[in-house]
Structure 1
Amino acid sequence: MDWDKLRIFHAVADAGSLTHAGESLHLSQSAVSRQIRALEDEVGATLFHRHARGLLLTEQGELLFAATREMTRMLDTASARIKDAKDDVYGELRVTSTIGFGTMWLTPRLPNLFDIYPDLSVDLILTETVMDLPMREADVAIRMKEPFQADLIRRKLFDVTIRFFASRAYVEKHGAPETAADLASHRIVGHSPGYPQIQAGEAFLAPIYAGAHRARATVNNYFGLYTAAISGLGICALPDYLARDVPELVNVAPDLKSDPTTVYFVYPTELRRSKRVAVFRDFVLDELEKDGLLSG
């Protein structure tokens, strides 16, 4: 089969649209459509169902898409290995992390990385969804739980606990709760129900929120909760590393905290010799050590 046609097919299957695939490939919609028809003639099967909302893969199309996904993954891996065989550290590294950690801890420290490796670029994918590293959805992950796949290399970074924080202005106006019972008389800003969060934090907070501590407002990520706490909106449960060395925040009800959650640096075994991965890993370890967070 012609690789150009397969490449165009893969883009269409991935986008679910001739128009969007054409934009990514810098081809007209008609040119993309012609290539798809030619590929269907070549394989002797219909690859897409045409639908008002876009294109849906047929059974034969699903089989071919699985093959082109694997081909794309292998090409990405080969490209990474070729680049990493060179002495210089350059090119793109795709890093996935949670919104809170990526936004508030990692991003502000990236200038230190680029000062040393100016030709390296980082594509940050900030999401609460666990991305598939063996399928090369990302090169590196910083995860709030240990991965289960056998073909991943993992390195323990540090432990996180969830604690209650409020702004100094809030405490001056409303006082600081000391116990779980005290929280009932305060305005609580909670995590949105059903939205992913640290598992140990969810277990810690569930019995508190189930009692007399109904959240007056909810936010669907830790960055929003951090902003709510800083602004004096109320008392927020936050990962302790986010409030570390933040003078505007006070740890209230200090005896209340979740079980620790271990944070891991994770990457596929096929990238174990990658210079880009190695320098990024060492950068993260150095920055955590500077902050006094790095686990032994």
Structure 2
Amino acid sequence: MVSSSEPSWDFYRTFLAVLEHGSLSAAARELGLTQPTVGRHIDALEESVGAELFTRSQQGLLPTDAALVLKPYAETLASTTAALLRAASGSKDKVSGTVRISASEVIGTEVLPPILADLQAKYPELVVELSASDAVEDLLQREADIAVRMVAPAQEALLARHIGVISLGLFAHRSYIARHGKPETVEQLRLHKLIGFDRQTAYIRMMMKRYPFLDGVRLSFRSDHSTALQNALRAGIGIGFYQTPLARRDANLVHLLPEVEVAIDTWVVMHENLKTSPRCRVTFDALVTGLLDYVRGSETEDQS
């Protein structure tokens, strides 16, 4: 039986935490609540929706079909609530409050920090939340305010600025080359230790289509995290793709087989409703300026 009372948002937040962690105790630690309180929230939500949401197993609490139906709605509530709090945190006429930025793992960890440092030095009341992940967050659902994307935006309600193309090439550390030599042809790559992703993504499939020689190549080091792959390359584990402008910052990285190059189109995007928000406007402009410098610096070095 469905309860006539509307569930508190706190119940949905607790529900998402239990979904993520699979136990009441882990959800309680994340939320700063006691385990009995988390249990009461789940019980109250189950009473409100008239369905069991979790079943116990040796692996922990497993979501029922009813829980999986509720999940996207609870996630929408979470992103909307977070966007509301960010909007409320800023004033109308000055740059203050919180802005949430979504960017790929490499861009977020390697390229944006100095750009954001200059921005926050100029606007000390600006608070930045950075989601550095290769997952694409939905700007229309306000999962983020501004995004740096490697694909042209399709939604009409988004304000977008095209930054240009970031090139990726094959690189290896000098220590690796000293031990294993340098491949002189694409075919010789099969004789080397290669670094790459542990799973197929749209980006990997595009690479395979453009460079068929990559299909079936044995990887000596695999990871789902871009930063782990970069660190493995810099440690001399093997040969891998690396953003050219980043690689040029490290004199120990050697560019191999220049004919093998991948071009990544880059955009800065935000919801058009945020263009009058001072904190979002200055952040958008700072990202555009900083990333244009990043891309142009690479182009200048390529021509030198």
> In which range does the TM-score fall when normalised by the shorter chain?
0.7 to 0.9
Q: State the distance in 1 between where 2:177 and 2:91 align.
A: 56
Distance 1:247 1:200, change over 3 A: farther
Distance 1:185 1:36, change over 3 A: closer
Q: Would the aligned equivalents of 2:80 and 2:143 in 1 still touch at CA under 8 Å?
A: no
How far off its partner does 1:79 sit? 4.5
Give the partner amino acid of 1:112: D
* Structure 1 counterpart SS, 2:261: coil
Matched residue, 1:194: 200
1:283 paired with 2:289, answer no
Q: State the distance in 2 between where 1:283 and 1:143 align.
A: 15
Q: Normalized against structure 2, the TM-score is what? A: 0.76
Give the partner amino acid of 2:11: F
Q: State the distance in 2 between where 1:271 and 1:57 align.
A: 38
Matched residue, 2:215: 210
Matched residue, 2:111: 105
1:138 paired with 2:141, answer no
Q: State the distance in 2 between where 1:166 and 1:64 align.
A: 43
Larger mean Cα displacement after TM superposition, 275-284 or 179-188: 179-188
Distance 1:20 1:152, change over 3 A: farther
* Superposition RMSD in Å: 3.6
Distance 1:158 1:40, change over 3 A: same
Matched residue, 2:274: 271
How far off its partner does 1:284 sit? 1.7
Query: Structure 1 stretches of 5 or more lacking a match?
Result: none
* Structure 2 counterpart SS, 1:203: helix
Query: Structure 2 stretches of 5 or more lacking a match?
Result: 300-304
Q: Would the aligned equivalents of 1:46 and 1:60 in 2 still touch at CA under 8 Å?
A: no
State which of 124, 127, 130 in structure 2 corresponds to 1:121. 127
How far off its partner does 1:140 sit? 1.8
Give the partner amino acid of 2:197: H
How far off its partner does 1:18 sit? 5.9
* Structure 1 counterpart SS, 2:207: helix
* Structure 2 counterpart SS, 1:131: coil
Q: State the distance in 2 between where 1:291 and 1:122 align.
A: 20
Distance 1:12 1:221, change over 3 A: closer
Distance 1:28 1:161, change over 3 A: same
How far off its partner does 1:229 sit? 2.3
1:220 paired with 2:224, answer yes
Distance 1:170 1:150, change over 3 A: same
Q: Would the aligned equivalents of 1:156 and 1:295 in 2 still touch at CA under 8 Å?
A: no
How far off its partner does 1:262 sit? 0.7
After TM superposition, list the pairs within 5 Å mapping 1:140-179 onto structure 2: 140-179=146-185
* Structure 1 counterpart SS, 2:109: helix
Q: State the distance in 2 between where 1:70 and 1:47 align.
A: 20
Aligned length: 289
How far off its partner does 1:82 sit? 4.5
Q: Would the aligned equivalents of 1:96 and 1:140 in 2 still touch at CA under 8 Å?
A: yes
Q: State the distance in 2 between where 1:218 and 1:64 align.
A: 31
